[in-house]
Amino acid sequence: EIKFEPNVMCEHIDKKLTFRASQLEDGDIVCFQKSPKADSGTQVRYPDIPSFLEYVHNRQVVHFRSLEKPKDDEFCLELSKLHTYDDVVERVARQLGLDDPAKIRLTSHNCYSQQPKPQPIRYQGVEHLLDMLVHYNQTSDILYYEVLDIPLPELQFLKTLKVAFHHATKEEVVIHSIRLPKNSTIADVIIDLKTKVDLSSPTAELRVLEVFYHKIYKIFPLHEKIENINDQYWTLRAEEVPEEEKNPSQHDRLIHVYHFTKDPLQNQQIQNFGDPFFLAICEGETLAEVKGRIQRKLQVPDEEFSKWKFAFISMNRPDYLQDSDVVSARFQRRDVYGAWEQYLGLEHTDTAPKRAYTANQNRHTHEKPVRIYN
């Protein structure tokens, strides 16, 4: 053995040569092996000294953790840093007693956050085990695994979206996982969703919205492809289209209605909260008439509703309204960047308990119960 780092160098010694001719001196390392029998036919993984030393040089004990329990080591495997992607998942499948290694999906470790990376490793997306373990020049010895219900190559042609379905009459939000081919459209999402949700009527129409920080940013057109939709940061919300919005007259307007409060610690800056929604308003309709419909829609008790204030808000600046003000007159202006920056604001106290999934807070005082279906 001539050297071990950075690469293994091990050369054959000719037994007929002297030590001097072979350049062997004090301190040199001589390795030997038994000569294999010519007729044995035995298959071994490392048949000679150079291949075995190459294994020793690259061997790596990897701690595998279930993605569902990212803090706990579940088992360890001694692997080679030169193992291919297929080698690694085959060993993991064998350890777990699975017949199909393609159903194993691996996720690398973030050395700084000590958490799994947000995105899993794509099928055959890396060449060697070493590529799975390196994170910004730091080498880890942890990998996370999960067992899929379908092979990963097939799954990668699909896209899974988390869609929060808001029932028209029930006080609940149900989170559904929709898994469709990447070239599917929002229309396909709605078709799939209708087979999973409890509609108020068999003829109910659904729409899918993009919600972020308690504002509605988009109604997805039915023809939009799902491949580029990001549900990691934006909340996808599905809801029934109310009857009063289906056949609007040319004078009706669909406005955004958001809940807000003003933070005294931040110079009375507006803070949105709760569930945003649309409201169809008629030409000439006063705030008093609109307030009555909003109270019925949100089912707010009279005592609480009497404390609410109403404002036309544009670019985060409130203009408080009186009961006699014509609401539609305020929404004629279009000198704003987007519709979500021009809305009817409902100012009242935010008494909703805080939780991680804030986008599903209830309409005014408490959260809707959330159920999650995979």
pLDDT in tens, 90-128: 999 999 999 999 999 999 999 889 999 988 999 988 999
pLDDT of residue 142: 94
CATH code for the domain defined by 157-241? 3.10.20.270
Residues in Cβ contact with 320 at an 8 Å cutoff, skipping those fewer than 6 apart: 309, 310, 311
pLDDT of residue 365: 40
pLDDT of residue 299: 86
Low-confidence ranges of the chain (pLDDT < 70): 40-41, 250, 332-340, 352-374
Specify the fold of 58-154. Answer: Ubiquitin-like (UB roll) (3.10.20)
pLDDT of residue 189: 93
pLDDT of residue 117: 92
Task: Yes or no: say if 244 and 254 are a contact pair by the CB < 8 Å rule.
Answer: no
Question: Tokens 């194993």 correspond to what residue?
Answer: 104
CATH 3.10.20.90 residue spans of the chain: 58-154, 244-347
Q: Which CATH number fits domain 244-347: 3.40.140.10, 3.30.1600.10, 3.10.20.90, 3.40.50.740?
A: 3.10.20.90
pLDDT of residue 95: 95
- In terms of phi and psi (left: phi > 0; alpha: psi -120 to 50; beta: otherwise), the region of 31 is beta
CATH 3.10.20.270 residue spans of the chain: 157-241
pLDDT of residue 307: 92
pTM above 0.75, yes or no: no
pLDDT of residue 357: 43
Q: Find how far residue 266's CA is from the centre of its chain.
A: 31
Alpha-carbon dihedral 234, 229, 174, 221, rounded to 10 degrees: 110
